[in-house]
Chains A and B, each alone.
Chain A
Amino acid sequence: MASYSHVEPLEHSHEDHPPAPHYSSRVHPSILGMFLFIASEIMLFGAFFTAYFFVRVVNGTPWPTPPYHLPVYVAFINTLILVTSSFTMHWALQSVKRGNVFGLRAGLLLTFLMGLTFLITQAIEYSRIGFNTGDGAFATIFFCLTGLHGAHVFIGLTILLFMTVRAFRGHFSPEDHRGVEIGGIYWHFVDVMWIVVYTTVYIL
C-alpha cells in the first residue's frame, strides 16, 4: 500500500494539477468577460444608431412619418418601470453585501417582475402601434432599435431568473455575490441603452 505521509516540495506541487492562473488584469476574469461582452454590444447598438442617424438626419425622413404616431406616454411609463428596476437591482446587491437575505431576494424578484412588465408592455405596444417593419424606413428603424433593446431585456431577464433562483436557494453571501454583481452590471447597461433609445426615438 502506498504511503502518502510525505509532503511534496512546493516547486513540484503543480505536477498533479495545473498551476494557478496568472491574472494580468486588475479586474476579475468574470467581470472582464462581461466588460468585453458589453463593449461588443455597444458597437452593435452603435451600428443601429448609425442607421437611425442616416435615415432621420441625412435622408431627412419625417419622424414619425405621417400618419403614424409613436406611443410616447406608454413608453414613458415603461421607461419609469425600467429605471425603477435598476434601483431595485442596486438595492438587491447592497442587501447581499450587508447580509440582508430578504432584501436580496425581494430586490431580485421585483427587478425580474418589472423587467417582465416592460417586455410585455412593449409586445402590446407593437401589436397596437398601427405600422409594421415594411412600412418605410422610419418603421424599419423603429422596430430594429426597440426590438434590439427588447432582445437585450429578454437576455437580462434570463440572467435575472437564474440569479433569483440562486438567491432563493441561498447561493449568495456577503463574501460571495459575484453572480449578482455581474448580472447587475448587465441590467444597468440595458437600462442605459433604453434611456438613449427612448430619448432619441420617442422624444427628440
Chain B
Amino acid sequence: MRNPLRSEAEAFQFLIAVIIAALVIVGAAYLNTWLGVAATVVAVAGIVWWLRQEPDPANRTE
C-alpha cells in the first residue's frame, strides 16, 4: 500500500492525484450537480485504488 506521507516524492505524487481529481469533480459539477456527486464518488474511489497500489521502489527514500 502506498503511503503518501512516507516521502516528499510520494506526497508530491499524491498532490498531483488530488489536483486531477479536483479538476474532474469541478468539470462534472459545472455540467450537472448530480454528475459532480458521481464524479466525486469515482474520484475518491480512484484515489483509494491508487493508494492501494504498491509504489515504485525507485521512488522510495527510506
Contact = CB atoms under 8 A, between A and B. Distances in A.
A106 B6 CA distance: 24
B7 A195 contact: no
Classify the interface of chain B: helix, strand, loop or mixed.
helix
Contacts of A196: 18, 22
Contacts of A27: 6, 62
Given A26-B62, A196-B18, A93 B8 contact: yes
B62 A31 contact: yes
A39 to B, nearest CB: 8
Interface residues of A, number: 25
Interface residues of B, number: 19
Interface string A5-37: 000000000000000000000111001001100
Interface of B: 3, 5-9, 11-12, 14-15, 18-19, 22, 25-26, 29, 36, 61-62
Interface of A: 26-28, 31, 34-35, 38, 83, 86, 89-90, 93, 180-181, 184-185, 188-189, 191-192, 195-196, 199, 203-204
